[in-house]
Structure 1
Amino acid sequence: MHLPPVGLGTMGIDDPDAIATALSVGYRHLDTARIYGNEAVVGDGLAATGVDRDAVTVATKLWVDDLGDGDVGPTARESADLLGVEALDLLYVHRPRGAYDPETTLPALDRLVDEGSVREVGVSNFEVDELDRALEVLDAPLAAHQTELHPLFYRPELLEHAREHGYAIVAYSPLAGGRVSEIDAVAEIAAARDATPEAVAIAWATAKDPVVAIPKASSERHLRANLAAADLDLTPEETAAIDAVDREEELFPE
């Protein structure tokens, strides 16, 4: 599926105006989740704009309690109702934990695709072996794998797997929880480019094929700045400098 380089992560956003503002300045990918408790907020923001519904990718995720065979369908339909959409553009397994069983969860997602309630299927926070199993079981193509990715933490093997199998990597927390300005390599590049460290971090992430990023923002200034970061092209040397940062600081471990 086509996803724009920068979308909107909505965890913690509780004001529909922030969603409406994001859409008005050009965002066309909204990412939420059952566990965030704000699907209705995202839906209200979407409904408040004149943006063509077909132009916006609306994504949500099933939490670990919603992954049983009998829970996937009803929960997905409830999410669609809260979001105010006839069909979910992208539905993820949030984590392969709890009630997740590839032999029952994934066929339930396939049934939603077959009936038109879901357009594309994704997974989130999977390991390579879990991705391989999902690809074996799913009838629908795997559209995306959402994973934590920022200058302090990323896993090249996940990017390689995505390239090999033709799905997108959706990078969450690309701003390292607000810490990118503390990373020397990022700050130095930002100063040299007259850009913000946040823009540099997003540009670094989205330069890694097939990565798109979903930074969270709520003010119009930050929304515009994050969206514009897709136009910042880093040199190979700048990219390598950020690649060389000491990392392994995962914000959302199991």
Structure 2
Amino acid sequence: MDAITTGGLRMPRLGLGTFRMQGAVCQSAVESALALGYRHIDTAQMYGNEEAVGAALRAAGVPRHEVHVTTKVWWENLAPDAMRRACDDSLRKLGLDHVDLYMIHWPARGMDMRASVETLMALREAGRTRAIGVCNFPLALLREAVETVGAPIAANQVEYHVLLGQTVLRDYMRGRGIALTAYCPLAQGRLAEHPALSAIARRHDASPAQVALAWLLEQDGVAAIPKSSRPEGQRANLGALAVRLDDEDRRVIAALPKDQRCVNPPFAPAWDKAA
């Protein structure tokens, strides 16, 4: 599978998201994905499924160095001591001595950016993670982490799909060699019967979801982590790697509205704060 090189990592472009998967369902899903060839698994402290992910990694028997594992610290645990404890707890539950990418899951309002990011950097130096990243950071916060604190941010994980644009953020990240990991890449199921995507899909003998994923995966520096608990869904998402869009397809997708955000919790940052 094609991979993005960022922060010393080779991160496969297509991964498996595990949000809202629990227990045996999560373990089975991760085992199935690994058997199908996925090598990028995304979890988080808040998901409550790190033990299930760890059990699946052990059961699958895939060599550890072949699998990229991301986990994240919740926004309520960004103080240095709390973050160190959270990282240790995540590693214990996963049954790993390190993850490949450790991320701040959401920024906290009024957070001490320097203290939080420098703690991430210390965890990297201690070998607890190979690289560090952030999630849900709009441009202003990402610039603070990168330019003010000087953090070697490998990736920013944000909502990104054909109905939500991230042009300004992507341009900055591409210029800095920072990967964008797209969560909610299928807009929480809203794309399954989208008329414009359906028309493109018919021409490529694909599904609208595969078209939407193909659009993301062809972009420089972009990875995607769709969630699917069923082998058939995971297999269908892998099929997006074979879809080749043309310029007319891209023109149609570019003309779609780009302001439809699916994930916007009360603690979310100011998304439009660009400077």
Normalised by the length of structure 2, the TM-score is 0.89
| SS of match in other structure, 1:152 | coil
Task: Provide the C-alpha distance between the structure 2 equivalents of 1:46 and 1:181, rounded to a whole number of angstroms.
Answer: 30
Structure 1: stretches of 5+ with no match in the other structure = none
Task: Provide the C-alpha distance between the structure 1 equivalents of 2:92 and 2:247, rounded to a whole number of angstroms.
Answer: 45
Shift, 1:231, TM fit? 2.1
Shift, 1:244, TM fit? 0.9
Residue 176 (structure 1) aligned to one of 187, 198, 214: 187
Whether contact under 8 Å (1:148, 1:154) holds in the other structure is no
Q: Deviations over 1:176-214 (max 9, x none)?
A: 101112322111101111101111010011122111100
Indicate the residue corresponding to 1:102 in structure 2: 113
Shift, 1:140, TM fit? 5.0
Q: Which runs of 4+ in 1 moved over 6 A?
A: none
1:197 counterpart letter in structure 2: P
Alignment RMSD (CA, Å): 1.3
Task: Provide the C-alpha distance between the structure 2 equivalents of 1:134 and 1:48, rounded to a whole number of angstroms.
Answer: 37
Task: Provide the C-alpha distance between the structure 1 equivalents of 2:233 and 2:149, rounded to a whole number of angstroms.
Answer: 38
Whether contact under 8 Å (2:12, 2:68) holds in the other structure is no
Task: Provide the C-alpha distance between the structure 2 equivalents of 1:173 and 1:208, rounded to a whole number of angstroms.
Answer: 16
Instruction: Go from structure 1 to structure 2 and tell me whether the alpha carbon gap of 1:45 and 1:231 turns closer, same or farther (over 3 Å shift).
Output: same
Task: Provide the C-alpha distance between the structure 1 equivalents of 2:178 and 2:233, rounded to a whole number of angstroms.
Answer: 28
How many pairs align?
254
Residue 212 (structure 1) aligned to one of 215, 220, 223: 223
Task: Provide the C-alpha distance between the structure 1 equivalents of 2:173 and 2:236, rounded to a whole number of angstroms.
Answer: 28
Residue 117 (structure 1) aligned to one of 118, 123, 128: 128
Structure 2: stretches of 5+ with no match in the other structure = 1-8, 269-275
Task: Provide the C-alpha distance between the structure 2 equivalents of 1:207 and 1:100, rounded to a whole number of angstroms.
Answer: 35
Residue 79 (structure 2) aligned to one of 61, 68, 78: 68
Q: State, as a whole percentage, how many aligned pairs show the same letter.
A: 38
Task: Provide the C-alpha distance between the structure 2 equivalents of 1:158 and 1:140, rounded to a whole number of angstroms.
Answer: 17
Indicate the residue corresponding to 1:51 in structure 2: 62
Instruction: Go from structure 1 to structure 2 and tell me whether the alpha carbon gap of 1:48 and 1:125 turns closer, same or farther (over 3 Å shift).
Output: same
Shift, 1:13, TM fit? 1.5
Task: Trace 1:187-198 onto structure 2 (pairs within 5 A).
Answer: 187-198=198-209
Residue 7 (structure 1) aligned to one of 10, 15, 20: 15
Task: Provide the C-alpha distance between the structure 1 equivalents of 2:149 and 2:64, rounded to a whole number of angstroms.
Answer: 27
Whether contact under 8 Å (1:107, 1:137) holds in the other structure is no
Shift, 1:141, TM fit? 1.8
| SS of match in other structure, 2:55 | helix
Whether contact under 8 Å (1:113, 1:120) holds in the other structure is yes
